Amino acid sequence: MINGQNDLFLISLIKQGDKRALDSLFKKYYNSLCRFASYLTSRNDLAEEIVADVFFRIWDKRENLTIEKNLRSYLFTATRHTAINYMKQEKLVMEELSEDIIEETPGPEDVFLYHELESRITNLINYLPQKRKAIFQLNRFEGFTYNEIAEILSLSSKTVENQMGKAIKQLKLLQKTYQI
C-alpha cells in the first residue's frame, strides 16, 4: 500500500504544478502502459502516442484531477479509453493482442532455452479466445489482480475469475494434448 500512497502523493504534487512529480509518474508507468496499449492496438508507435496523450491529459487537467484510490488502475483504464478513441478515429480493427516481450541479457544457451520456452507458451496462449487471453496476460504477465482487471476491462470480478479458471484448464489441456 506504500506504493499506492506514494502514487497519490505524486498526484497531489502534480495538482500543485510539480513537473518533476509528473516525470516520476511517467517513468514509473510508461513501459507497462505502452505494452498494454500495444495489446489493444497491435501497433507500438500508436501505443506510445496513446500513453503520451494520457500523461498530457493528466497534466492538462491537473487542477481538476480526482484520483482517490488506485492510480495504477486509473492509468490503465485511461489508456484503454484513449486507445479505443484512437482506434475509432483511425477506424482500426482490433485483431489480436500482441505478445508481451520481456527484455533480458542472458547467455547464449539461456537465450536459446528462453526462446524455445517462450515459443511454446505463446503457442499455447494463442489458442485462447481473445478476451480470455487478455485477462490471462494481464494477470500472469502484468501482475494485476482480478479486481483490477475487471475495472480495466469493464467486467465483473467474477467473470475475470471464471475466465482465468477456464484459461488455466484450457492451457493444461492443450499442453497435454499437443505436448507443447
pLDDT digits (tens, 9 = 90+) for 122-163: 777 788 888 888 898 888 888 889 999 999 899 999 999 999
pTM of the predicted model, to two decimals? 0.51
Residue 104: CB partners within 8 Å, gap ≥ 6? 114
Task: Determine which of 19-23, 29-33, 99-103 has the lowest per-residue pLDDT on average.
Answer: 99-103
- Within the chain, residue ranges assigned H as helices are 2-15, 19-41, 44-60, 71-90, 108-126, 130-140, 146-153, 157-178
Say if residue 104's pLDDT is above 70: no
Task: Determine which of 19-28, 94-103, 115-124, 142-151 has the lowest per-residue pLDDT on average.
Answer: 94-103
Say if residue 4's pLDDT is above 60: no
